[in-house]
Amino acid sequence: MRVALSIAGSDSSGGAGIQADLKTFQALGVFGMSAVTAVTAQNTQKVYDIQEMRPEIVYGQIVCLFEDIPVHAVKIGMVASVPLIEAIADALGGLERLPPVVLDPVMISKSGYALLQPDAQAALVRHLFPLARVVTPNLPEAEALLGKKIADIDAMKIAAREISALGAKMVVVKGGHLGRGNATDVLFDGQDFRLLESRRIDTANTHGTGCTFSSAIAAHMARGESFFDAVTQAKTYITGAIENALSLGKGCGPTHHFFDLYRRAGMGVG
């Protein structure tokens, strides 16, 4: 059994964060484990509050798992403060053999709640980018990391190269926020680019898409797939999950992590 570890925050509504990661791992045939960095009070409408875990607890969660169970990939999501970032870097940096790490630089919720403290951005780049095999910023996150506007595909390619120069080995700049035509992601493996397109799906139910996409990449890497293959498979998965998204709650509903399993079981997926 292949195993993946999610280091991220808990989403009480179940659509994003640790909950989305574990569902994604399971849907893709990978056993999921978790190191919780924070508990959030949130629903489909917005994030109301965040309570961080103590850094030593986060460190302990990670270290005790690696001491006991082989881990084939790690996904890092919401890490809101410098002490948490440093604790994660200490835990992962102390490993004799680090599996592929997929880092999703979560900075702000869809409702506008800041999920990364301002002083933590530099720490994220300094401590976690060098440990990451893949970094997966969306356009606003890439703009924040680089301090400039990204307006088209050519600018996304430049951004991917510049983010790689910050320490990340491979980069996926997600283009959904361009808001026109197909949704195009730019993939960069340190040498070559690849564009990954999917048709834009008209739905408001997109809660947790970034978490789900990055954890799908981690799951496929845990299964031994190469960077380009893992991201391509993850793109197919997240597209299906959005196409079958669930209309739950009064805000942005979640994607359907088990849409394919439901379909094969003859169950309704909507």
Mind telling me the catalytic residues? 174, 206, 208-211
242: three-class secondary structure by DSSP: helix
Residue listed under structure tokens 């999501």: 77
Among 134, 98, 110, smallest CA distance to 216 is for 134
Measure the CA–CA gap between 248 and 242, rounded to whole angstroms.
Answer: 13
Neighbours of 180 (CB within 10 A): 9
Determine the Cα angle at 199 with ends 265 and 27, to 5°: 30
Pair of tokens at residue 19: 């909950």
Tokens at 158, concatenated: 């430049």
For residue 117, give both structure tokens.
Answer: 């403290």
